[in-house]
Amino acid sequence: MNDSGARYILEFSKEAPEAVQLELRSVQTAYGTFSIDFFNGWIAKIRGDIEPAKRLSFLRYASRILTEAEDINELRSTILPPGRFHVRISHNDTPSSVTESQIGDIIGGKGRISFSSPDFVVRAIFSEKWYLCILEFQADRNEMEARKAPLRPFFSPVSMHPKFARFMVNSLSLKPGAVVLDPFCGTGGILIEAAKLGYRIIGNDISLKMFKGVKLNLKYMSISDYKLYNKDFLDLKSDEKINGIATDLPYGRNSSAGTYDIEQLYSMSLEKFASLLDSGEKCSIAVSTLEVLKIAESHFRSAEVISVRQHRSLTRHFITLTR
């Protein structure tokens, strides 16, 4: 792990802080090129390589720290790069009297402020103290929103948002190039995010309708390197090593569970998943009931649970199991 080098503040959306923390730790484990100084629910301070953090699903901004200060007047000593800039404040509990123009004046912005064509953007982030930073990465939220299920050629009303599909894949702690399996791939949302992150993907669905539909979606997303099967998951075999499994397990009467009832399906699924993974490898599942944890105890040595209310009638439990 790299504990030296540049320091950064990562700013996240605030909808699922437990998921943010798990995903951040998982990517750190996979790469080992940055350390985490702290995470407080909406920001994290890290040291080292910023590149792996850019793949995080809930990340909004990544900024390089120039100065840390208890009081804004201590920011006067900050040495800024040459060029024009503007200031943006980000906070949970910033003193209401502090303004962006005030910070701009303190750090020597007279004659250098530009909102239309800045050379860089200064982010003044307050969380117990001030962090004056240069913005280095801003997530393109429109790009992820464009991959939402209703905007794909084939979709199901129960398809999850791409950011949660990406979170599930990231929680596997894998580097790009690894093989990710979704044995109940549905419309392909998890496969799409896995491919976008640089993984080799294998999908399967017992439903012929889903099998044909996910092919349409992968083509629409310009993804051509994949393996896709239309069979009972128990019959699924792979000619290459599977490094991680991420799947939204079927639930409810309209699920593509084949001839199995849900409890039977979950029991056989987890046994099958465990047989495909080596010790230390992970399986990320989304379920609507925590009863699955009792079944998992027989096949996996640990479980981390994140429960997120998706809408009024659905709470998804995201469970990361370690073989």
Query: pLDDT of 259-283, one tens digit each?
Result: 667 888 999 999 999 999 999 999 9
The last residue of a domain, from among 117, 138, 159: 138
The answer as to whether 253 is a domain residue is yes
pLDDT(93) > 70: no
Please check whether residue 231 lies inside any domain of the structure.
yes
So what's the pLDDT on residue 238? 84
Whether the CB-CB separation of 30 and 173 falls below 8 Å is answered with yes
> How far is 55 from 301, CA to CA, in rounded Å?
27
Do 186 and 315 sit in the same domain of this protein?
Answer: yes
Name the average pLDDT for the chain: 92
Chosen domain end from 90, 109, 138: 138
User: What pLDDT shows up at residue 256?
Assistant: 52
pLDDT at 239: 85
What is the model's pLDDT at position 96?
Answer: 65
pLDDT at 290: 93
Q: Write the CATH number for 257.
A: 3.40.50.150
The residue-averaged pLDDT of 100-113 equals 94
Of the residues 138, 155, 189, the one at which a domain ends? 138
Q: How confident is the model at residue 253 (pLDDT cuts 50, 70, 90)?
A: very low
Residue 198: is its pLDDT beyond 50?
yes
Residue-range definition of the domain harbouring residue 242: 146-322
Taking residues 157-170, what's their average pLDDT? 93
**% the chain with pLDDT above 90:** 81
Q: Give CA–CA dist 228/83, Å, rounded.
A: 51
Provide the pLDDT for residue 103: 95
Mark whether 157 and 231 lie in a shared domain: yes
Cβ-based neighbours of 227, under 8 Å, separated by 6 or more = 201, 202, 203, 238
What does the buried/exposed string (b/e) look like for 27-43 if buried means 16 or more CB atoms within 10 Å of the residue's CB?
A: bbebbebbbbeebeebb
Task: Answer whether residue 46 shows pLDDT above 90.
Answer: yes
CB atoms within 10 A of CB 199: 23
pLDDT, position 49: 96
Domains: count for the chain: 2
Q: Give pLDDT, residue 157.
A: 81
pLDDT in tens, 176-187: 999 999 999 999
Task: Tell whether 236 and 298 lie within a shared domain.
Answer: yes
Has residue 255 got a pLDDT over 80?
A: no
Please tell me the pTM assigned to this model: 0.92
* Pair 148, 217: CB distance under 8 Å: no
**Cβ-based burial of 157 (10 A; exposed 0-12, middle 13-18, buried ≥19):** exposed
Give me the mean pLDDT over the 299-303 stretch: 96
Residue 1 lies in a domain: no
Band (pLDDT 50/70/90 cuts) for residue 95 is low
Looking at the structure, do residues 111 and 152 belong to the same domain, yes or no?
Answer: no
Tens digits of residue pLDDT in 54-77: 999 999 999 999 999 999 999 999
* 130-134, 152-156, 215-219: least confidently modelled range: 152-156
